[in-house]
Amino acid sequence: MNGLTKNKIAAILIVLYTLPQMIVLYNWIVTDSIAIFGMEIGVALSGFGTFLSGFMTAFGVWQDQKVYKIIAMIIFGVNALGALPGILFAPTLGLKLAAIGGLVIFIALLVLLLRRTPQLATA
């Protein structure tokens, strides 16, 4: 099959989710606005670790390796738990929509990673 499989779609979703996180984190570090947002350096470094592990799992999911699928589900599960308070308590509509978008991406990844491929019956 030459088209996009569910694993490749999941890997693309992982990259599309983690790339903006890295761009924002890089912008915060370069402009030294971590102090403006009140973010500790530990939080910034954990965001960088999440970014690196996201790209690592995207590569493993692209190659259909089960270990990386499990790691991706754990990483995005933790991110989804972090997004749940944002849905309820975010001060602006933009932050609420970002939290909802993160949760929708997590649910889509779960569906793509847990769904089995149909096996053709042999005679």
pLDDT tens digit sequence for 11-63? 998 888 888 777 777 777 677 665 555 556 666 677 777 788 888 999 999 99
Please check whether residue 1 lies inside any domain of the structure: no
Angstrom CA distances, 91 to 24, 32, 44, 47, 86, stand at 19, 24, 21, 22, 9
Terminal Cα-to-Cα distance of the chain (whole angstroms): 22
Amino acid 34: pLDDT? 57
Contact yes or no for 34/46 (Cβ under 8 A): no
Give SS3 for 119. Answer: coil
Please check whether residue 120 lies inside any domain of the structure: no
Domain count, the chain: 1
Please check whether residue 28 lies inside any domain of the structure: yes
Please check whether residue 48 lies inside any domain of the structure: yes
Amino acid 59: pLDDT? 92
Comparison of pLDDT for 69 and 26, the residue scoring more: 69
Question: Is the pLDDT assigned to residue 5 strictly greater than 70?
Answer: yes
Structural domain span for residue 100: 6-114
Amino acid 123: pLDDT? 65
Q: How many residues in the chain?
A: 123
Give per-residue pLDDT as tens, 76-118: 888 788 778 888 888 888 878 888 888 888 888 888 888 877 7
